[in-house]
Structure 1
Amino acid sequence: MNILMALSQREVTGAEVYATTVGDILTERGHQVFYVSDTLTKPHQGEFFTLRFNKRSIFRRFWHVGYLIYLIKKHNIQLVHAHSRASSWSCHVACKITGTPMVTTVHGKQPVHASRKKFHAMGNRAMPVCEAIYHQLIDDLGVPADTMTISRNGINTARYQWCDAPNNDKKVIAIIGRLSGPKGDLCFKLLDECIDLDRYDVKIVTGTEPTKRFERFRGNVDFVGYVEDVPAMMAKADLVIGAGRVAMESLLCGRPTFAIGEAISIGPVNLDNIDHAMATNFGDIGPVDLDIDFSLIPAQIEEALSTPHCPVEVNEKIKESYDLQNIVTQVEDIYQSVYVRTLRKDIPVLMYHRFSESTETQGRMAPYIDIDMFEKHLKLIKKLGYETLTFEDIRGKGFISRLEADKRYCMITVDDGFKDNYTLMLPLLKKYDLKAVVYAVSDTDHNQWDVEHPETPEKRFELMTQSELKALADSGHVEIGGHTLTHPHLSSLTREQQQREIAENKAKLERLLGKDLLSFAYPYGDWNQDSVELVKGCGYEFAVATNSGPLAVHEDPYLIRRIGIYPGTDVFGLFRKLTGGYLFRKVKEKPSHV
């Protein structure tokens, strides 16, 4: 995807670290990430554009919106990700005008005023970084809970490794954070009231130039300035004091950590308060600003300095909760849901069965399509510029690859494994250089399930032989998936019967093909919870249904909804079904989590 990260800042902030850190991983995963902000200090991959969001006159705001529209159109931006109030306001307007999906990561407590309550300006989804912000957005600003997802700060946990306690003659206390705004006020009070500056070696690590009021501490405090190698600085400290990302990174290094922020003081982070610390972004967010009893802090600092490391269990919890790769995967999932549901379109997953070349091979009841019409379908797919994907393609790049800029993708799936898939379909796939996924039944040589139907018996049609199925799979145009042994209604079977149908079918096909199967199709689109669990348990990574499952393909990889192709589906009918919004127009769905 083409993604625009928008920030408003004039110095290094946690939002910038988050945006560039997440942006670099997105770039590594194949996305094209652009940045727009007042300044951008952290190293980053991707083009940067300067825009003075912090200049907020009416004229300037119109200029911001106009420039954002220009960037969105010039660089084919598919989604805007804002990271601040000033940038989100302008991005919200620009995205409304251009129809571009937008999300906003909310890094801090939001100001409360009438206009903010009426005009949230966070786009299609807000992503507060902790529970305290989530509840503040609901309680103070009336942001609907179903338009938000908590998405924590992502940290490159590999960069912040557990380190041995330093052997300092004089205990080192590192206070890390900016010296402007409320954080500057907090740092001043810590130095003025809470820390024995003669007893400890206090280092202030910041990208902010100290203001005049800090001059009185110059003889007792080392104002280090901005440090690129933060882990090395933390490794030399006996205690790290900070909030937000600072506290998380310190805990990853195993350092005793005193979490205190713009709102509250957590104190030394331990097993008793780690959940509270995470919920408040390690002291940054609370019910009121600076709700701190500073008289308690000196004793708490002494307590924190009495241990060489933070608790190992706290370190492990931080790794689990803030792992960068996991957070970026969650962000990608949010991007996909916002993009698909805002534009109301997704990759069409087409469902075919048999192909007929004469009236004799046309069925009475079961779905089929004339082979000449199928060729017209393939011609239309090519003419419209669609490329076909298989699950092997998706497995390699992830579901989000289907939203690649300037690309149009669809998926052709074919159920049951009839002989005509080999004799009629395969030559056309080769002719038009397209791919399909065929779901094969393994323990019968014909459509026994239809022929023996008690009320509407069908004609007999042969399934592929093992050699034909192998040749189909080896063609490079077809991926094989599982479809049970005998094509039963799975929900009518016991769990044990379902297990045999699903697992033995998979094992037989894998022995024949010499490779693992990635996806499974529920016969008749019929399933229950046992079916889904068994499909997962057998090692399948994907499963396709028919008329069930969410409309966004990635939201449940074991219930991928498909679009049926029937004898009456002509070229115009396929054109309608290929348009990404077909299912959104046809299906009434419960409100999504996005």
Structure 2
Amino acid sequence: MNILMALSQLEVTGAEVYATTVGDALGARGHRVFYVSDTLTKPHQGEFFRLRFNKRSIPRRFWHVGYLIYLIRRHRIQLVHAHSRASSWSCYVACKLTGTPMITTVHGRQPVHASRKKFHALGDRALAVCEAVRDQLITGLGVAPELIAIGRNGIDTQRYQPVPPPANDKPVISIIGRLTGPKGELCYQLLDQCLDLDRYQVQIASGSRVPERFHRFQNKVEFLGYVQDVPGLMAQSDLVIGAGRVAMEAILMQRPVFAVGEAEAVGLVTPDNIQAAMASNFGDIGPNDLDIDFTTLPTQITAALDTRFDSVALADSVKAAYDLQAVTSELEAHYQSVIVHRLRREVPIIMYHRFIKDDSEKGVHGTYLHVNMLEKHFKLLKRLGYETLTFADLADNGLASRLEAGKKYIIITVDDGYKDNFDLLFPLLKKYGFKAVIYAVTGESFNRWDVENPDNPEKTVELMTPDQIKEMAASGLVEFGGHTLTHPKLDRLDREQQHAEIAGNKAQLEQLLGHSLHSFAYPYGIHNNDSKQLAKELGYPFAVATNSGPLAMHEDPWQIRRIAIFPRTDAFGLWRKIKGNYVFRKA
């Protein structure tokens, strides 16, 4: 995907660290990430465009919107991810005009006024960094709860490793944060009222210039400026004071953290209060700004330096909630949902069964297609510029790869594994350079499940031999997936019987092919909770149904919708089904 991160800032902020950290993680997964902001200090991968969002006059805002539209079109941006009020307003207008999906991460408490309630400009989904932000969006701004999800800060947990306590002659207290705005006021009050500057060695890491009012502390406080090696600074600290990412990173290093932020003082973070601390983003967000009784903090800070607790358990809690790769995966899922549902487009997955050369081969059931029509289908796909994917491709590259900019992807699936797949489909796959996924029944040599149907018996049709399956798989054009041993209706079987059908079929195909399978198809599209759970437990990354499941395939990888192709589906009918919005119109 092509993603534009939009920020408005004049100095390093937690939003910038968040955006560049997850941006680099997204880039490592194959996405192209661009940035637009007033400034961007943190090292990052991806092109940066300067735009002065903090200049907010009406003419400037028109310029912001126009420039964003230019960036969206020039770089084929598929989703805009805003990180501030100023940028989200302009991004919202630009995305409305271009039809571009948009997400906003809300990093802090929002101002509440009438215009903001009517025009919150959050886009298609808001990601609140903590529960306090979510609650304030709902109660303060009237944002619909279904529009909001929790989107934690992502932290590269490998960068912040546990360190032994330092052997400092005098306790070292490190304050990390801005010296401007609410955080600057907080830092000033800590120095003025709470910290014994003779007893402690206090050092402040900040990207801000030191404001004049802080000059009175310069003889007793070390102002370090912007620090590249924050882990090194934390390692030498007896106590870290901060909120948001600062607190999380220090906890991962098993350094004591006194969480105090723009809203409240959580105090020393321990396993007993970690959940409450996370809910307020470690003190940064609450019902009011800077609602702190500073007179109580000196004794709390002194006690924090002497208190012992289970720092390993605390670090594990933070790691579970903020692990960068887990957060990035959640973010990818949000991106996919917003793109698919906003545009009402999903990669089409079409479903064939068997193919015939003449009318004598027609069956009672409508699961066949004349090979001449199949070639017309393939000609249409080639003319329209479609490229074929398999589930092995998606397992290797991630489900989000199906939304690659400038690509038109389709997944061709074929159920049951009839011999005609080898005789008629295989030559056309070679001719057009297409790939397909064939779901093979391995416990039968013909379609016994249809032939012995007492209500509507079908003619006998031969299945592929093991040698034919191996030849097709070796070509690189065919991925084989599981389809049970005997093609039963799984919901009529108990869990043990389902396990035998699914596991037995998988084992036979994997032994034949010499590699693991990536997808499974429920016979008739029929399944129950046991079926889905077994597919997961047996190691299938994906399972396909027919006309059931979410409209976006990533929202349930074990119940993926497909589009059935029938004998009368001509080239025009196929075009209607593969435009991308077919399942949305039919749902």
TM-score range, shorter chain: over 0.9
1:336 equivalent to 2:336? Answer yes
1:389 equivalent to 2:392? Answer no
1:281 alignment partner AA: N
User: What is the alpha-carbon distance in structure 2 between the residues aligned to residue 327 and residue 515 of structure 1?
Assistant: 31
Between stretches 511-520 and 541-550, larger displacement belongs to 511-520
User: What is the alpha-carbon distance in structure 2 between the residues aligned to residue 559 and residue 74 of structure 1?
Assistant: 36
- Runs of at least 4 residues of structure 1 off by over 4 A? 307-310
Q: Is the 8 A contact 1:101 1:124 kept in 2?
A: yes
- CA deviation after TM superposition for structure 1 residue 287, in Å: 1.1
Number of the residue aligned with 1:592: none
User: What is the alpha-carbon distance in structure 1 between the residues aligned to residue 438 and residue 44 of structure 2?
Assistant: 43
User: What is the alpha-carbon distance in structure 2 between the residues aligned to residue 271 and residue 3 of structure 1?
Assistant: 37
Q: Is the 8 A contact 2:366 2:566 kept in 1?
A: no
Number of the residue aligned with 2:462: 462
Q: Is the 8 A contact 1:2 1:76 kept in 2?
A: yes
User: What is the alpha-carbon distance in structure 2 between the residues aligned to residue 94 and residue 140 of structure 1?
Assistant: 25
User: What is the alpha-carbon distance in structure 2 between the residues aligned to residue 25 and residue 272 of structure 1?
Assistant: 31
Q: Is the 8 A contact 2:270 2:309 kept in 1?
A: no
Q: CA RMSD in A?
A: 0.9
User: What is the alpha-carbon distance in structure 1 between the residues aligned to residue 511 and residue 532 of structure 2?
Assistant: 23
Task: For 1:16-165, list aligned pairs within 5 A.
Answer: 16-165=16-165
1:54 alignment partner AA: N
Task: State TM-score, norm by structure 1.
Answer: 0.98
Unaligned runs of 5+ in 2: none
Unaligned runs of 5+ in 1: 588-594
2:429 alignment partner AA: L
Number of the residue aligned with 2:259: 259
User: What is the alpha-carbon distance in structure 2 between the residues aligned to residue 99 and residue 17 of structure 1?
Assistant: 28
Number of the residue aligned with 1:526: 526
Number of the residue aligned with 1:224: 224
- CA deviation after TM superposition for structure 1 residue 544, in Å: 0.3
Q: Is the 8 A contact 1:364 1:458 kept in 2?
A: yes
- CA deviation after TM superposition for structure 1 residue 309, in Å: 7.6
Number of the residue aligned with 1:202: 202
Name the SS of the counterpart of 2:291 in structure 1. coil
User: What is the alpha-carbon distance in structure 2 between the residues aligned to residue 128 and residue 222 of structure 1?
Assistant: 34
- CA deviation after TM superposition for structure 1 residue 310, in Å: 6.5
1:444 alignment partner AA: E
2:282 alignment partner AA: F
Name the SS of the counterpart of 2:175 in structure 1. strand
Name the SS of the counterpart of 1:126 in structure 2. strand
User: What is the alpha-carbon distance in structure 2 between the residues aligned to residue 513 and residue 404 of structure 1?
Assistant: 30
Task: For 1:177-216, list aligned pairs within 5 A.
Answer: 177-216=177-216
1:573 equivalent to 2:568? Answer no
Name the SS of the counterpart of 1:18 in structure 2. helix
Task: For 1:291-302, list aligned pairs within 5 A.
Answer: 291-302=291-302
Task: For 1:502-521, list aligned pairs within 5 A.
Answer: 502-521=502-521
Name the SS of the counterpart of 2:150 in structure 1. coil
User: What is the alpha-carbon distance in structure 2 between the residues aligned to residue 182 and residue 581 of structure 1?
Assistant: 47
1:327 alignment partner AA: V
User: What is the alpha-carbon distance in structure 2 between the residues aligned to residue 509 and residue 30 of structure 1?
Assistant: 31
Q: Is the 8 A contact 1:269 1:310 kept in 2?
A: no
Name the SS of the counterpart of 1:388 in structure 2. strand
Q: Is the 8 A contact 1:419 1:463 kept in 2?
A: yes
Between stretches 137-146 and 302-311, larger displacement belongs to 302-311
- CA deviation after TM superposition for structure 1 residue 308, in Å: 7.1
- CA deviation after TM superposition for structure 1 residue 216, in Å: 1.3
1:489 equivalent to 2:452? Answer no
User: What is the alpha-carbon distance in structure 1 between the residues aligned to residue 6 and residue 560 of structure 2?
Assistant: 33
User: What is the alpha-carbon distance in structure 2 between the residues aligned to residue 132 and residue 399 of structure 1?
Assistant: 31
- CA deviation after TM superposition for structure 1 residue 366, in Å: 3.9
1:317-344 Cα distance to aligned partner (Å, 9 max, x none): 1111111111111111100000000000
User: What is the alpha-carbon distance in structure 1 between the residues aligned to residue 218 and residue 380 of structure 2?
Assistant: 74
Q: Is the 8 A contact 2:175 2:204 kept in 1?
A: yes
Name the SS of the counterpart of 1:146 in structure 2. helix
Q: Is the 8 A contact 1:543 1:559 kept in 2?
A: yes
> Cα distance 1:310–1:90, how it changes in 2: closer, same or farther (>3 A)?
farther
User: What is the alpha-carbon distance in structure 1 between the residues aligned to residue 175 and residue 409 of structure 2?
Assistant: 51
1:487 alignment partner AA: H
User: What is the alpha-carbon distance in structure 2 between the residues aligned to residue 261 and residue 206 of structure 1?
Assistant: 15
1:227 alignment partner AA: V
Name the SS of the counterpart of 1:103 in structure 2. strand
1:398-457 Cα distance to aligned partner (Å, 9 max, x none): 011011011110000000000000011000000000000000111111111111111111
- CA deviation after TM superposition for structure 1 residue 586, in Å: 1.2
Between stretches 151-160 and 292-301, larger displacement belongs to 292-301
Task: Report the count of equivalent residues.
Answer: 587
1:213-251 Cα distance to aligned partner (Å, 9 max, x none): 111111111111110000000011100000101111111
User: What is the alpha-carbon distance in structure 1 between the residues aligned to residue 310 and residue 249 of structure 2?
Assistant: 12
User: What is the alpha-carbon distance in structure 2 between the residues aligned to residue 324 and residue 450 of structure 1?
Assistant: 50
User: What is the alpha-carbon distance in structure 2 between the residues aligned to residue 468 and residue 74 of structure 1?
Assistant: 48
Between stretches 360-369 and 253-262, larger displacement belongs to 360-369
2:2 alignment partner AA: N
Number of the residue aligned with 1:471: 471
User: What is the alpha-carbon distance in structure 2 between the residues aligned to residue 469 and residue 451 of structure 1?
Assistant: 23
Task: State TM-score, norm by structure 2.
Answer: 0.99
User: What is the alpha-carbon distance in structure 2 between the residues aligned to residue 348 and residue 59 of structure 1?
Assistant: 43
- CA deviation after TM superposition for structure 1 residue 143, in Å: 0.4
